[in-house]
């Protein structure tokens, strides 16, 4: 019985292990390996909760472990990736290369924002069937896709944007804001599968599949942006419906 309780925790620790590996790869500028480890880690993060509910062994320990693992995989890793991107595109402010004056440290704002969001998530009882603010895995996928897009796209405009440190800082601030904003974002958990109650989710999933098929790595940040836009649109329609009634 005790072993059964530990199965979801072992899956969560697998997420943490992937996060540590991703951190090592990101620090070594191996962004493809970083992305593989992060995707596996996020997959394990999804399944640990599913397995815990399936085995009926959910508990406070699992909840805390989940956030600690996410802090590494979806908090530390994107901060390092953004640090690396900025470091290759920013001029150090100091003549003697003082590390603390290196503007690339702004990338670590993502890590701080993720930590704050995860701490709030553990205390927020509203986030059972939806999310308040952008989930850290979504933020992480957005960030780790950027170096892959940079090296795998022939679109000049996109390459110029990703080489622009001001654009990267804008992305950092935007994602940090979205993670901690009071914006309700839908979850892909389905209580029932009727089209009338889930048309927004089905539309999002269909658009996401098409973008992945035709746009390769560029699809990832576009999917995250679409996710926020669809959520806000659904919230607006729901609010209007309530007010009209």
pLDDT one-digit tens code per residue, 80-118 = 999 999 988 765 444 455 555 578 899 999 999 999 999
Residue 56: what pLDDT?
76
Highest mean predicted confidence (pLDDT) among 73-82, 145-154, 156-165, 197-206: 73-82
Residue 142: what pLDDT?
98
Residues, the chain, total?
Answer: 245
DSSP symbols for 90-152: ---SSTT--GGG-GGGGGGHHHHHHHHHHHHHHH-TTTTSEEES--HHHHHHHHHHHHHHHHH
Q: Count CB neighbours of 94 within 10 A.
A: 10
Q: pLDDT band for position 163 (50/70/90)?
A: confident
Provide, rounded to the nearest whole percent, the portion of the chain with pLDDT above 90: 56
Residues 31-51, mean pLDDT to the nearest whole number: 92
The answer on pLDDT for 243 being more than 70 is no
Q: Are 76 and 155 in contact (CB under 8 A)?
A: no
Residue 91: what pLDDT?
52
All residues at 6 or more sequence positions from 148 whose CB lies less than 8 Å from its CB, including other chains: 31, 32, 35, 217
Q: What is the pLDDT of residues 192-234, one digit of tens each?
A: 667 666 777 888 999 999 999 999 999 999 999 999 998 998 8
Buried b (16+ CB within 10 A) or exposed e, 108-144: bbbbebbbebbeebeeeeebeeebbbbbbbbbbbbbb
**CATH code of the region 2-182:** 1.20.120.1760
Phi/psi-derived region of residue 192, left when phi > 0, alpha when psi is between -120 and 50, beta in every other case: beta
Out of 62-76, 157-171, 227-241, pick the least confident.
Answer: 227-241
DSSP symbols for 184-208: EEE-S--S---HHHHHHHHHHHHHH
């Amino acid at each position: 019985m005790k072993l059964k309780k530990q199965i979801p925790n072992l899956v969560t620790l697998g997420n943490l292990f992937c996060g540590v590996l991703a951190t090592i790869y990101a620090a070594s500028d191996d962004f493809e390996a970083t992305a593989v480890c992060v995707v596996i880690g996020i997959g394990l993060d999804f399944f640990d909760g599913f397995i815990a509910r399936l085995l009926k062994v959910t508990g406070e320990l699992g909840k805390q472990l989940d956030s600690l693992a996410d802090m590494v995989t979806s908090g530390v890793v994107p901060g390092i990736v953004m640090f690396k991107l900025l470091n290759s595109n920013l001029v150090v402010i100091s003549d003697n290369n003082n590390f603390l004056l290196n503007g690339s440290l702004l990338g670590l704002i993502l890590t701080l924002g993720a930590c704050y969001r995860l701490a709030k998530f553990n205390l927020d009882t509203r986030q059972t069937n939806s999310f308040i603010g952008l989930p850290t895995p979504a933020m992480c996928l957005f960030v780790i896709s950027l170096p892959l897009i940079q090296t795998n796209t022939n679109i000049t405009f996109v390459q110029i944007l990703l080489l622009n440190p001001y654009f990267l800082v804008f992305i950092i601030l935007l994602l940090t804001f979205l993670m901690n904003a009071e914006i309700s974002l839908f979850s892909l958990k389905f209580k029932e599968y009727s089209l009338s109650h889930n048309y927004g989710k089905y539309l999002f999933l269909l658009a996401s599949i098409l973008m992945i098929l035709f746009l390769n790595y560029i699809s990832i940040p576009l999917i995250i942006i679409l996710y926020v836009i669809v959520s806000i649109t659904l919230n607006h329609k729901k609010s209007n419906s309530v007010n009209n009634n």
